[in-house]
């Protein structure tokens, strides 16, 4: 192979080596970029994990707040139901009081009417009974005539009428007293119910409503925090996916460059083998040429020695055979 071909091979090897060096540097640059992306991805994943933990924590907190709200609402509904029952009971009591007051009024009117019938004088039932018994006894033991008999029956009738009126008055007063006592009891019960309703409203219902409002504010604040955390989570997920895509792209580019580098190395090796073969071929040609030159020189010297011998000069056998020069070259 000629020298020009060797130079071409060396130039091609230099060209390919420079390209291989450029690709190696490009690979190193892209590997560094990929490592930076991986570090960024690791940071984003850590931040994403922290945000997800915060989000789960806030969701747990929100669940507890909602559970507490449900308990308070249940308590509020129970108090409201109790207040409604107490209100209905007070209405029932008021209606019953009105009915009893109306009855007492009618009984008082009736009592006035009966009192008017007996002249408005207090009547002693026991004395009336004693008087009736005495008259009946005297009537049984005393002789009577028709006029006295009529007088007796008229008197007895009048006394029994007064006794009946007295018993009716007593009965009416009893009704009035019992109903008045019942009215008083119902009024007291109604007052107690009203006091209990006020206590329930002020001490229980209002307190529960205040707690519910506070928890609603807390719930709304947590919901807003969750919304913000979700937005941050989604942003970090998008960033994570973008980084993963960039890393995959870099890896694909690095793989492609490494494949290209292997191809270049293979081509360099191929040209280096060709160059080595060319150099060996050139060295072999040079060696053969040198050997041929030495043989020609030996022949020339042997010829000269022969001529000298023919002229009668002294010549050694080695010179005559042309071996001394050849041997010294070896």
Task: Write the CATH number for 179.
Answer: 1.10.287
Give phi and psi for 312, each to the nearest 5. Answer: 95, 10
Q: Does the structure show a pLDDT above 80 at 167?
A: no
Query: 244 in a domain, yes or no?
Result: yes
Q: Does the structure show a pLDDT above 50 at 4?
A: no
Query: 302 in a domain, yes or no?
Result: no
Query: 87 in a domain, yes or no?
Result: yes
pLDDT value at position 310?
A: 77
Query: 318 in a domain, yes or no?
Result: no
As a whole number of angstroms, the distance between CA 183 and CA 309 comes to 179
Helices (H), the chain: 3-117, 125-141, 146-199, 206-310, 317-321, 323-329
As a whole number of angstroms, the distance between CA 302 and CA 296 comes to 10
As a whole number of angstroms, the distance between CA 198 and CA 275 comes to 111
- Residue 122's SS3 state is coil
Q: Does the structure show a pLDDT above 70 at 142?
A: no
Q: Does the structure show a pLDDT above 70 at 321?
A: no
Poorest-pLDDT segment among 9-23, 186-200, 267-281, 293-307: 293-307
Chain Cα centroid distance, residue 8:
72
Q: Does the structure show a pLDDT above 50 at 327?
A: no
The mean pLDDT of 311-317, rounded to a whole number, is 68
Provide the sign of the torsion angle of the four alpha carbons 287, 289, 290, 295, taken in this order. positive
Number of domains forming the structure of the chain: 1
Average pLDDT in the chain: 83
- The pLDDT confidence band at residue 330, using thresholds 50, 70 and 90, is very low
pTM exceeds 0.75, yes or no: no
- The pLDDT confidence band at residue 1, using thresholds 50, 70 and 90, is very low
The mean pLDDT of 299-325, rounded to a whole number, is 67
Question: Which residues, in sequence order, are CB contacts of 284 under 8 Å at separation 6+?
Answer: none
- The pLDDT confidence band at residue 163, using thresholds 50, 70 and 90, is low
Query: 154 in a domain, yes or no?
Result: yes
Chain position carrying tokens 């560094």 = 32
- Structural domain containing residue 145: 3-266
Query: 43 in a domain, yes or no?
Result: yes
Q: Which residue has the higher pLDDT, 240 or 304?
A: 240
- The CA–CA distances, whole Å, from 89 to 84, 143, 204, 217, 285 equal 8, 68, 20, 36, 131
In the Cβ-directed half-sphere of 46, how many Cα atoms lie within 13 Å? 6
Q: 16: exposed, middle or buried (C-beta count within 10 Å: 0-12, 13-18, 19+)?
A: buried
The mean pLDDT of 112-132, rounded to a whole number, is 62
Q: Does the structure show a pLDDT above 70 at 323?
A: no
Measure the CA dihedral 315/320/323/329, to 10°: 60
Provide the sign of the torsion angle of the four alpha carbons 98, 100, 104, 109, taken in this order. positive
Query: 65 in a domain, yes or no?
Result: yes
Query: 189 in a domain, yes or no?
Result: yes
The mean pLDDT of 137-159, rounded to a whole number, is 56
Poorest-pLDDT segment among 53-57, 134-138, 265-269, 274-278: 134-138
As a whole number of angstroms, the distance between CA 91 and CA 129 comes to 47
Q: Does the structure show a pLDDT above 60 at 190?
A: yes
As a whole number of angstroms, the distance between CA 81 and CA 75 comes to 10
pLDDT value at position 121?
A: 56
pLDDT value at position 228?
A: 96
Q: Does the structure show a pLDDT above 60 at 328?
A: no
* Residue of 9, 5, 30 whose CA lies nearest to 261: 30
Per-residue pLDDT of 214-244, as tens digits, reads: 999 999 999 999 999 999 999 999 999 999 9
């Amino acid at each position: 192979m000629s020298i020009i071909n060797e130079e071409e091979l060396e130039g091609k090897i230099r060209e390919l080596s420079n390209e291989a060096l450029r690709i190696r540097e490009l690979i190193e640059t892209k590997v560094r970029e990929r490592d930076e992306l991986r570090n960024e991805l690791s940071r984003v994943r850590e931040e994403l994990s922290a945000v997800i933990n915060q989000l789960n924590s806030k969701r747990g907190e929100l669940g507890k707040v909602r559970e507490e709200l449900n308990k308070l609402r249940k308590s509020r509904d129970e108090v409201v139901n109790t207040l409604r029952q107490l209100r209905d009971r007070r209405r029932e009591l008021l209606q019953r009081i009105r009915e009893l007051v109306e009855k007492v009024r009618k009984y008082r009117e009736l009592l006035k009417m009966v009192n008017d019938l007996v002249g408005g004088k207090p009547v002693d039932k026991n004395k009336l009974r004693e008087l009736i018994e005495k008259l009946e006894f005297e009537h049984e033991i005393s002789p009577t005539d028709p006029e006295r008999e009529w007088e007796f029956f008229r008197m007895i009738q009048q006394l029994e009428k007064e006794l009946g009126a007295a018993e009716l008055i007593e009965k009416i007063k009893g009704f009035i007293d019992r109903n008045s006592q019942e009215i008083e009891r119902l009024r007291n019960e109604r007052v107690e119910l009203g006091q209990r309703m006020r206590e329930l409203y002020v001490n229980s219902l209002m307190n529960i409503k205040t707690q519910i409002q506070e928890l609603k504010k807390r719930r709304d604040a947590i919901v807003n925090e969750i919304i913000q955390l979700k937005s941050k989570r989604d942003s970090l997920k998008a960033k994570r996916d973008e980084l993963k895509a960039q890393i995959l792209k870099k890896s694909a580019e690095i793989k492609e460059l490494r494949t290209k580098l292997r191809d270049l190395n293979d081509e360099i090796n191929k040209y280096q083998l060709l160059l080595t073969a060319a150099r060996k071929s050139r060295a072999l040609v040079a060696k053969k040429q040198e050997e041929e030159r030495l043989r020609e020189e030996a022949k020339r010297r042997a010829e000269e020695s022969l001529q000298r011998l023919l002229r009668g000069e002294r010549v050694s056998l080695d010179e005559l055979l042309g071996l001394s020069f050849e041997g010294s070259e070896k």
